Chains A and B, each alone.
Chain A
Amino acid sequence: MRTIIAGIGYRNLRDHSVGPLLVDRLAGQRWPDGVAVEDLSYGPIAVVQRFEDDPLDRRFDRAVVVSAVQRDREPGSLTVYRWDGVLPSEEGVQRAVVDAVTGVIYLDNTLVVARHFRALPAEVIVIEVEPILHEFGDGFSPAVAEAFETMCRLARTLATDCASGEAIPVAGLGGGSPAATTAP
Chain B
Amino acid sequence: MCFKNLPIDFDSAGKPFLRGGVADPYSQATAAPIGAPTQLTAERVEDLLRRNGHIKSVDFDPVTRVAGALAFHTVADLKARRVLEARSVATLFRGYEVIMIGRDPRDAIFITSRACGVCGGVHGTCSALATEMAIGCCPPPLGVLIRNLMLALEFLYDNPLHLHLLAGPDYSQAIVEPTNPSLYARAQKTEAPHAEVHGYRTMADLMTDLNPLTGKLYLEALHMTRVAREAYVLIAGKYPHPQTIVPGGVSSTITLTVMNEMFLRLAQFFDYSKKITGIWDDITDFFYEADPQYMKVGARRAHLIDTGIFDDPDAYDATYANAAAWGNRRWATPGAIVDGQLVTTDLHRINMGIEEFVDHSFYEGWTGEGRTPHFPTDSEGNPLSPHHPWNKITKPRPQGQNWKEKYTWDTTPRWDRNAMEAGCYARLWNTAVAQQLPDNPFIEATGHSLKVRMPRGALPEMELEWHVPKVWNAFERNRARAHCVAFTAMVAMNNWLAAMDRIKNGDLRTSTKFDIPQKGERVGVGFWGAGRGYLTHHLVLDRGAVSNYQIVTPSTWNASPTDAWQQPGPYEEAVLNTPLLEESDDPAKFRGIDILRAIRSFDPCMPCTTHIQSEGGMITREVNTCACGLDG
Residue ranges of A at the interface with B (Cβ–Cβ < 8 Å): 45-46, 49, 90-91, 93-95, 97-99, 101-104, 106, 116
Q: How many angstroms from the CA of A102 to the CA of B609 in the assembled complex?
A: 13
Contact call B226/A98, Cβ cutoff below 8 A: no
A95 partner, pick from B161, B226, B240, B607, beta carbons under 8 A? B607
Residue B58 interfacial (CB < 8 Å): no
**B50: Cβ under 8 A from any A Cβ:** no
Report whether A90 and B212 are in contact in the complex, using a CB–CB cutoff of 8 Å. Answer: yes
Task: Tell me if B8 is interfacial: C-beta within 8 Å of chain A.
Answer: no
From A95, A103, A116, contact of B118 by CB (8 A): A103
Residue B225 CB within 8 A of the other chain: yes
The 8 Å CB contact of A104, one of B117, B212, B620, is B117
Specify which chain B residues have a CB less than 8 angstroms from the CB of A97 in the assembled complex.
165, 212-213, 222
Contact indicator A101/B161 (Cβ below 8 Å)? yes
Could you say which residues of chain B place their CB within 8 Å of the CB of A90? Answer: 212-213
Contact of B624 among A46, A91, A102 (CB under 8 A): A102
Are A95 and B609 within 8 A (Cβ)? yes
B606 contacts partner chain A, Cβ-Cβ < 8 Å? yes
A98 touches B213 (CB 8 A): no
- Given the known inter-chain contacts A99-B607, A104-B117, please indicate yes or no for A94 contacting B66, CB distance below 8 A: no
Assess the A46–B66 pair: CB atoms within 8 A.
no
How far is B161's CA from A163's CA once the two chains are assembled, in angstroms?
42
User: With a CB–CB cut-off of 8 A, which chain A residues contact B622?
Assistant: 94-95, 98
Q: Contact at A103–B225, with CB atoms within 8 Å?
A: no
Instruction: Pick the contact of B165: A46, A91, A101, A116 (CB < 8 A).
Output: A101
Task: State the 6 A-B residue pairs at the shortest beta-carbon distance, nearest first.
Answer: A103-B117, A94-B212, A99-B607, A102-B607, A98-B607, A103-B118
B632 within 8 A of A: no
How far is A103 from B61 in the complex, measured between Cα atoms in Å? 21
Interface 1/0 per residue, B109-129 and A, CB below 8 Å: 000000011100000000000
In the complex the two chains form, what is the Cα distance from A1 to B240 in whole Å?
A: 33
Most B-side CB within 10 Å, residue of A93, A94, A101: A101
- Cross-chain contact of B65 among A49, A93, A101, A104 (Cβ < 8 A): A104
Contact A45 B225 (CB under 8 A): yes
Residues of B within 8 A of A94 (CB): 169, 212-213, 622
Of the residues A95, A101, A106, A116, contact of B225 by C-beta under 8 Å? A101
B156-184 interface bits toward A, Cβ cutoff 8 Å, 1 = contact, 0 = none = 00000100011001000000000000000
A102 CA / B628 CA spacing, docked (Å): 11
Please give 18 more A-B residue pairs, beta carbons under 8 A apart, in addition to A104-B65, A104-B66, A116-B213: A45-B222, A45-B225, A45-B226, A90-B213, A94-B213, A94-B622, A95-B609, A97-B212, A97-B213, A99-B66, A101-B165, A101-B166, A102-B117, A102-B607, A102-B624, A103-B66, A103-B240, A104-B117
Q: Which residue of B lies closest to A98 (CB)?
A: B607
Interface string of B187-223 (1 = CB under 8 A from A): 0000000000000000000000000110000000010
Q: Is B229 an interface residue (CB 8 A)?
A: yes
Output the least CB separation between A97 and chain B (Å).
7
> A106 near B116 (CB under 8 angstroms)?
no
**Complex: chain A residue closest to B604, CB-CB:** A102
Ordered by A's residue number, 25 sampled pairs between the chains whose C-beta atoms are within 8 Å are: A45-B222, A93-B213, A94-B169, A94-B212, A94-B213, A94-B622, A95-B607, A95-B609, A97-B212, A97-B213, A98-B622, A101-B161, A101-B165, A101-B166, A101-B222, A102-B66, A102-B605, A102-B606, A102-B624, A103-B66, A103-B117, A103-B118, A103-B606, A104-B65, A106-B65
Write the nearest CB–CB distance from A41 to chain B, whole angstroms: 11
B residues neighboring A (CB under 8 Å): 65-66, 116-118, 161, 165-166, 169, 212-213, 222, 225-226, 229, 240, 605-607, 609, 620, 622, 624
- One of A46, A102, A106 near B229 (C-beta < 8 A): A46
Chain A nearest Cβ from B11, distance in angstroms: 48
Q: Which A residues are in CB contact (< 8 Å) with B117?
A: 102-104
Q: Are A103 and B65 in contact (CB under 8 A)?
A: no
Report the tally of A-B residue pairs with Cβ distances under 8 A: 54
Determine the distance from Cα of A46 to Cα of B239 in the docked complex, in whole angstroms.
11
Q: Say what secondary structure dominates the interface of chain B.
A: mixed
Q: B166 near A98 (CB under 8 angstroms)?
A: yes
- Among B225, B229, B624, which residue has its beta carbon within 8 angstroms of that of A98? B624
Q: Closest B residue to A93 by CB, please name it.
A: B213
Measured CA separation A167–B605 after assembly (Å): 43
Shortest distance in angstroms between B239's beta carbon and chain A's nearest beta carbon?
Answer: 9
> In the bound complex, what is the Cα–Cα distance between A99 and B65 (angstroms)?
9
Residues of the A chain whose Cβ atoms lie less than 8 Å from the Cβ of B609: 95
CA A94 to CA B229, docked complex, whole Å: 21
Cα A99 to Cα B625 in complex, Å, equals: 11
- Structural contact, B65 and A102, CB atoms closer than 8 A: no
Q: Closest CB of chain B to A89's CB: distance in Å?
A: 10
Contacts of B166 in A (CB 8 A): 98, 101
Residues in B neighbouring A106, C-beta threshold 8 A: 65
Q: Which residues of A contact B225 (CB under 8 A)?
A: 45, 101
CA distance A49 to B222 in the complex (A): 10
Contacts of B624 in A (CB 8 A): 98, 102
On chain A, the residues within 8 Å of B65 by CB distance are 99, 104, 106
Q: Which residue of B lies closest to A108 (CB)?
A: B65
Known: A99-B607, A106-B65, A116-B213. A49 touches B169 (CB 8 A): no
Task: Using known A-B contacts A45-B222, A45-B225, A103-B117, determine if residue A98 contacts B165 with beta carbons closer than 8 Å.
Answer: yes
Contacts of A102 in B (CB 8 A): 66, 117-118, 605-607, 624
Contacts of A46 in B (CB 8 A): 226, 229
Instruction: Find chain B residues with CB under 8 A from A93 CB.
Output: 213
Residues of A within 8 A of B606 (CB): 102-103
Question: With A and B bound together, what is the CA distance between A103 and B114 in angstroms?
Answer: 10
Rounded to whole angstroms, the CA-CA distance of A45 and B164 in the bound complex is 15
Q: A95 vs B609: C-alpha distance in the bound complex, in angstroms?
A: 8
Q: Which of B116, B607, B622, B624 has most A Cβ within 10 Å?
A: B607
B49 to chain A: closest CB distance in Å?
Answer: 30
In angstroms, how far is the closest chain B Cβ from the Cβ of A107?
Answer: 12
- Which residues of B have CB within 8 Å of A49? 226
Which A residues are in CB contact (< 8 Å) with B620?
91
Contacts of A95 in B (CB 8 A): 607, 609, 622
- Whole-angstrom distance from the CB of B65 to the nearest CB of chain A? 7
Question: Smallest CB–CB gap between B564 and chain A, Å?
Answer: 33
Expressed in whole angstroms, the minimum distance between the Cβ of B488 and any Cβ of chain A is 18
Task: Return A39 CB to nearest CB of chain B, in Å.
Answer: 13
Residue of B nearest to A90 (CB): B213
Residue of A nearest to B66 (CB): A104
CB-defined contacts of B222 to chain A, threshold 8 Å = 45, 97, 101
- A-chain residues with CB within 8 Å of residue B116 when the two chains form the complex: 103
Distance between A42 CB and nearest chain B CB, rounded to angstroms:
8
- Name B161's closest neighbour in chain A (CB-CB): A101
Assembly CA distance A101 to B226 (angstroms): 11
A45–B224 alpha-carbon span in the complex (Å): 11
Report the nearest A residue to B229, measured CB to CB: A46
What's the least CB distance linking A155 to chain B, in Å? 25
Inter-chain CA distance A75–B22, complex, in Å, is 63
Closest Cβ of chain B to A72, distance in Å, is 14
Which residues from B are CB-within-8-Å of A91? 620
Distance in angstroms between the alpha carbons of A94 and B607 in the assembled complex: 11
